[in-house]
Amino acid sequence: MQKISIEKVVINMGVGSDADKMKRGEQIMKLITGRKVIKTHGKKRIPDWGVRPGVQLGLKITLRGNKAMEFLKEAFKAKDNKIKAKSFDKEGNFGFGVREHIELPGIKYDPKLGILGFDVLVTLKKIGYRVKVRKIKRKKIGKNQRVTKEEAINFVKEIGVELQ
């Protein structure tokens, strides 16, 4: 029951309200994952940044299972298999950014698309986490079933990633 696994990997790209950059970002996200892209919208009004409710601001893709693990290993290769300890939160989740999508292995530069970066956010879980999110007889999970920061760091080290 203490085995840690990946619940999901979310790839997020903030491109702003520019329609051309949004289309290029969609093509890049499809290229690196092979999945359908979801557009994210603004929820609050921030006049200084030009953000209004309903304006498309970014893109995201959620990966689960084996596809998530494969993508995560490739993303770590782009970061030279290193991650900072401050990238982990107290619940054991972690995230990091890739400055240029062409840093991923097997991705080549295309002048039509340009270069864009993205964020990778990883959510970890232990067996039995489903009790917290199921529809019928939902319960709180105990302290021992939550992933701690130290357990998440050990999980990442097992994959072959070093801490900075």
What are the extents of the domains in the chain?
A: 4-163
Please indicate, yes or no, whether the overall pTM of this predicted structure exceeds 0.95. no
d(CA 6, CA 112): 34
| Position 117, amino acid | G
- Please say if the pLDDT value at position 81 is more than 80: yes
**Percent of the chain surpassing pLDDT 90:** 59
Structure confidence by residue, pLDDT tens digits, 3-18: 999 999 999 998 887 8
DSSP string spanning 89-158? -TTS-EEEEES-GGGSTT----TTT----EEEEEEEEETTTHHHH-STT--PPPGGGSPPHHHHHHHHHH
- Please say if the pLDDT value at position 49 is more than 80: no
What's the confidence (pLDDT) of residue 64? 94
What percent of the chain is helix, strand and coil (3-state, nearest 5)?
35, 25, 40
Strand partners for 51: 46
- Please say if the pLDDT value at position 92 is more than 80: yes
What's the confidence (pLDDT) of residue 140? 92
Q: How confident is the model at residue 46 (pLDDT cuts 50, 70, 90)?
A: confident
- Please say if the pLDDT value at position 120 is more than 90: yes
Supply 32's token pair. 């690196």
What's the confidence (pLDDT) of residue 5? 92
According to DSSP, residue 142 is labeled P
The hierarchical CATH code for the domain 4-163 is 3.30.1440.10
- Please say if the pLDDT value at position 155 is more than 80: yes
Q: How confident is the model at residue 128 (pLDDT cuts 50, 70, 90)?
A: confident
What's the confidence (pLDDT) of residue 24? 92
What's the confidence (pLDDT) of residue 99? 92
